[in-house]
Amino acid sequence: MSKKGVLVLYSGCSGVGKGTIMKQLLARDPSIRLSVSNTTRAPREGEIHGVHYNFVTREEFLALADADGYIEHAVYCDNHYGTPKKQVEDMLAQGYNVFLEIEVQGGLQVMEKYPDILSIFIMPPSLEELERRLRGRGTETEESIQKRMAQAVEEMKYKDRYRYQIINDTVDRAADEVLSLLHQQTK
């Protein structure tokens, strides 16, 4: 790969299926890389350090933030999340298309720094379907589900700040649409 990759802002509410769509994108397009965020939250079952997240202490997180080492960082549901700047810049320079899978608060920061970024917001078909998906995970407490649903309503207020909105009614169709948008940028 010789030319610089495309930076993609990829957001949506918790439980909307961003991760499931991303698995398809990674399997279907070898030019795609997912930025691995740092987080202070505990790993969920099956999550691997360095693959799903870089699990760091609050102190480690804040030290890198103080050194301007993040493209963006935010607090979400009482945990810190951030995108390490050097990791993303290295992948783009190698010609990879790098997806920043981050929540809206961080996404708005990224859009300020990179106004021409390819920004995509993944939408649920409905709030009822979103709640069904969150409950179906079996990993959330009732309090956590209620908090995430309230957060989703807030986040969806910002969907129009993103250049594209894609409804995840079926994973295949949503992945096709994301790939189509990406390939328009790389022509």
pLDDT in tens, the chain (187 residues): 458 899 999 999 878 989 899 999 999 999 999 999 999 999 988 999 998 899 999 999 999 999 999 999 988 778 999 999 999 999 999 999 999 988 888 899 899 989 889 999 999 999 999 999 888 888 888 998 998 899 899 999 999 999 999 999 999 999 999 999 999 998 7
Strands (E), 105-148: 118-123
Q: What pLDDT does residue 71 have?
A: 93
Burial class (CB in 10 A: 0-12, 13-18, 19+), 92: middle
Residue the block writes with tokens 């992945």: 175
Length in residues, the chain: 187
Q: What pLDDT does residue 2 have?
A: 54
Q: What pLDDT does residue 1 have?
A: 47
**pTM confidence score:** 0.84
Q: What pLDDT does residue 128 have?
A: 93
Q: HSE of 12 in the Cβ direction (CA atoms, 13 Å)?
A: 25
Fold of 7-185: Rossmann fold (3.40.50)
Q: What pLDDT does residue 6 have?
A: 95
